[in-house]
Amino acid sequence: MSILSDITDLSSLAQHLFPNGKLVRGGTELRAGDVNGSPGSSLSIKLESGIWIDHNGGEGGDLVDVLCHRFHLDYRGAAEWLRVNGWLNRPSRQYAPAPVPRPTPAEPEPLPCAPSGQPLPYKLAERFARSQRWQLLDDGLHLHPYAWPDGQIPVVVARYQLAQGGKQVRRLGWGGKSKQWRVGGTAGLHPLPPYNILRLNQHPEAFVLLVEGERAADAVERLFSNYVGVTVLGGSNPAAGTDWTLLHGRVVHVLPDADPAGGQWCVRVTAELRAVGIEPRLLVPQEVYAYLGGRGKCPRGWDIADPLPPRPTPVDPAPESAAVPQEPATPPPDIHTPLPEGAIPLGATDHMSADQVDELLQYLTGAG
């Protein structure tokens, strides 16, 4: 005879053992994190039968197994615990263990993401803009897909340029019960690839320029043809769980925005890269700004996608003034010409030490 059939109230016993559990399915099922009663939902307990399944590890059992695990008891010891605490309606009966069928571990589900080649969710992005009553500029919607090397796309970032000025950014995630694109549906999709991995794989010899935001990453190849721009979901506030191992074997340069948030971002992504064995090199925004032809101090918040300030228009000399021969001005570098093979723009270091990170942060904090 199984002891389960003589427990006075399986539902009450389950809730006694899992006080932090959550009742679901109309009160017929209790969810918890594990057999120890931790918060969560991977452990499912059927209250009518007292059978549980841990969907995280593929294990299962009954409430007697929970008692044995919690209090280090054997089956007869668990029966005695139930008897002493008044959970048995036949306290004098002797019980022998009854085997509980263990569920067959399910194959892990693949990461929910869009199939390779699936069209990007323009219609969803457009519908969302209309629902928010946003007035967009012509060509004011840009989609930036985050793809794995096999072409699967778990997340797309939608960037909206508003007609009244400013921008809005939303994430579109693939998955959920409906297996479709959803606004903000990125929960559970980690880890995620860095942005532009497919483009990087098309250029095996290219350097990586890690920047803040998809717009800046897209601008990199317009400036340097031997670089591919890469970024991480979230821009200056990157999402956790980026698979940086996809950059193994590459020379990685990091270019933050010219502001304190850029310094914090640089410190964070550098630490994450080092944690997977990648030693990045530092590009200082002021030096890159000057290299691209910018005059004076780099504007606060400048990134590589921003236009350079216009040069002052020279004033013609007055007719009566004597013409003074002028040395021809040195033209700015042709930014559309690729850098010499192996060259690193000004300001880069071979290795970024902790002191150099601190110096960068101090520099960016004081950027005006």
Number of separate domains in the chain: 3
Residue range 268-295: average pLDDT?
A: 87
User: 69 vs 317, which has greater pLDDT?
Assistant: 69
pLDDT value for 194: 94
Statement to judge: residues 159 and 206 lie in one domain: no
How large a percentage of the chain has pLDDT more than 70?
A: 70
At 209, the pLDDT band (50, 70, 90 cuts) reads very high
- Which segment, 90-99, 185-194, 239-248, 359-368, is predicted with the most confidence on average? 239-248
Task: Tell me if 262 is assigned to some domain.
Answer: yes
Task: Tell me if 205 is assigned to some domain.
Answer: yes
How many C-beta atoms surround the C-beta of residue 286 within 10 A?
19
Statement to judge: residues 163 and 201 lie in one domain: no
pLDDT value for 4: 75
Q: For 340-350, how does the pLDDT look when each residue is reduced to its tens digit (9 = 90+)?
A: 333 434 333 44
At 361, the pLDDT band (50, 70, 90 cuts) reads low
Statement to judge: residues 50 and 72 lie in one domain: yes
pLDDT value for 95: 58
Statement to judge: residues 64 and 140 lie in one domain: no
Statement to judge: residues 253 and 291 lie in one domain: yes
Which two three-digit tokens encode residue 240?
A: 């956790």
Residue range 245-267: average pLDDT?
A: 89
pLDDT value for 101: 43
The three-point CA angle 175-178-179 to 5° equals 35
CA 132 centroid distance within chain: 25
CATH of the domain at 33: 3.90.580.10
pLDDT value for 113: 54
pLDDT value for 111: 44
Task: Tell me if 354 is assigned to some domain.
Answer: yes
Cβ-contact 280, 254 below 8 angstroms: yes
Angle, helix 10-17 to helix 63-71, in steps of 10 degrees: 30
pLDDT value for 75: 74
Task: Tell me if 107 is assigned to some domain.
Answer: no
pLDDT value for 8: 83
User: 197 vs 313, which has greater pLDDT?
Assistant: 197
Task: Tell me if 255 is assigned to some domain.
Answer: yes
Lowest average pLDDT, out of 137-146, 213-222, 298-307, 314-323, goes to: 314-323
Q: Is-cis flag, bond preceding 191, omega within 30?
A: yes
Cβ-contact 223, 288 below 8 angstroms: no
Residue 202 has pLDDT above 80, yes or no: yes
pLDDT value for 268: 87
CATH of the domain at 258: 3.40.1360
Residue 236 has pLDDT above 80, yes or no: no
User: 61 vs 28, which has greater pLDDT?
Assistant: 28
At 230, the pLDDT band (50, 70, 90 cuts) reads very high
Statement to judge: residues 156 and 16 lie in one domain: no
Lowest average pLDDT, out of 101-105, 113-117, 195-199, goes to: 101-105
Statement to judge: residues 176 and 130 lie in one domain: yes
Cβ-contact 133, 110 below 8 angstroms: no
Which two three-digit tokens encode residue 184?
A: 């903000």
| φ/ψ (deg, to 5) at 303 | -130, 175
Statement to judge: residues 204 and 300 lie in one domain: yes
Residue range 188-204: average pLDDT?
A: 87
Q: For 300-326, how does the pLDDT look when each residue is reduced to its tens digit (9 = 90+)?
A: 888 888 887 665 454 444 444 444 444
Cα–Cα nearest to 278, from 252, 254, 255 = 252
Statement to judge: residues 221 and 178 lie in one domain: no
User: 206 vs 89, which has greater pLDDT?
Assistant: 206
pLDDT value for 56: 61
What element of type H or E holds 65? helix 63-71
pLDDT value for 343: 40
Q: What is the mean pLDDT of the chain?
A: 75
Residue range 65-88: average pLDDT?
A: 81
Task: Choose one of 84, 114, 138: the last residue of a domain.
Answer: 84
Cα–Cα nearest to 62, from 4, 129, 1, 107 = 4
Statement to judge: residues 151 and 61 lie in one domain: no
Task: Tell me if 31 is assigned to some domain.
Answer: yes
Residue range 155-181: average pLDDT?
A: 82
Say which residues have a Cβ less than 8 Å from residue 39's Cβ, sequence separation at least 6: 20, 32, 33
Statement to judge: residues 229 and 360 lie in one domain: yes
Range of the domain at 345: 197-304+337-365
Task: Tell me if 22 is assigned to some domain.
Answer: yes
Statement to judge: residues 78 and 155 lie in one domain: no
User: 166 vs 57, which has greater pLDDT?
Assistant: 166
Task: Tell me if 160 is assigned to some domain.
Answer: yes
Residue range 179-183: average pLDDT?
A: 78
Task: Choose one of 138, 156, 183: the last residue of a domain.
Answer: 183
